[in-house]
Amino acid sequence: MWIIFLNGIAIFLGGILGCKFKKYVSKNMSNSIIKVVALSIVVISLKEALNYRNGMLNLAYLVIGVIIGEGIDLDNKLKKTGNYIQSKLTRGEDGIAKGFVVSTIMFCVGSMAILGPLEIALKNNYEILSIKSIMDGISAIIFSATYGIGVVFSGIVVILYEGLIYVLGSGIAALVTPDIIQDISSVGGVVLLALGITVIFGERYIKVSNMLPAIFLPIIYSLILRLI
C-alpha cells in the first residue's frame, strides 16, 4: 500500500532539493532553465497529442472538458490554493503559487498517472509508478529551483489523485482499454502542450487548469459505451 505514495514522496524530496539550489541560481538563469524545460514539454507533448485515434473525438473530449473546467472554475480554485500556500510560507518570494499550479498540472496529466496506481491495485506491479516517480522527482528539482517551495506541495495533490485511482482500481480497470489509454495520452498531450505554451508566453491566452477534466472523459466515454 505504501508504494502508492512513492510518486508524491519523490516530488516532495526533489522539490526540497531544488529549493536548496534555488539560492545559487540567478533570476536570468532560472528564466532560461524554465524556458528550456517548457520547450521540452512542448516537443514531448506534441508526440503524444498527435498519436490520436479519432481527431473529432479528441476535440469533443477537450471541448467538454473545458466547459466543465470553466463551469467549476477549476483554474481559479487551483490558483487560490497556490496563493494560500504562498501567503503562509513566503517571505517576499514570488512564484510559489505559479510553481504549485504548473507542477500540479504537469505531474497529474497523462496516462502514467492513471496506469501506475491501477497496476499496483490490480497486479501489485509498481514498475510504471516507479518510472514516473524518477521522472517527476528530477522535474521537481528543476521546477523548484526556479519557482520555489510551491512545487513541493504539488506532491500532496499527486498522492491524493493517485491514491483515489488506486482505491477505485478494480472498478475502473475494465474501462481503461488500450484504445482509451491512447485517448488519455493524446488528450493529455494537448493539455501539456498548452502548459508548455503558457510557461513560455504567459497565461494570458490559455487557462490550462480548466482543461484538466478532459483527461477523465475517455474513461467516462468507455463507461457509456458499456452501458449502451
pTM: 0.86
Cβ(12)–Cβ(152) under 8 Å? yes
Q: What is the DSSP letter of 211?
A: G
Walk along the chain (228 residues) and give the pLDDT tens digit of each residue: 678 899 999 999 999 999 888 877 777 887 888 888 889 889 989 989 998 999 999 999 999 999 999 999 999 999 899 888 888 776 555 678 888 999 999 999 888 899 899 989 888 888 999 999 999 999 999 889 888 888 999 999 999 999 999 998 878 888 889 999 999 999 999 999 999 998 888 767 788 999 999 999 999 999 999 888
Burial of 123 (0-12, 13-18, 19+ CB in 10 A): exposed
Cβ(147)–Cβ(94) under 8 Å? no
* Angle, helices 150-167/112-123, rounded to nearest 10 degrees: 50
Domain with 185 in it: 2-227
Q: What share of the chain is helix, strand, coil (3-state, %, to 5)?
A: 85, 0, 15
Number of domains within the chain: 1
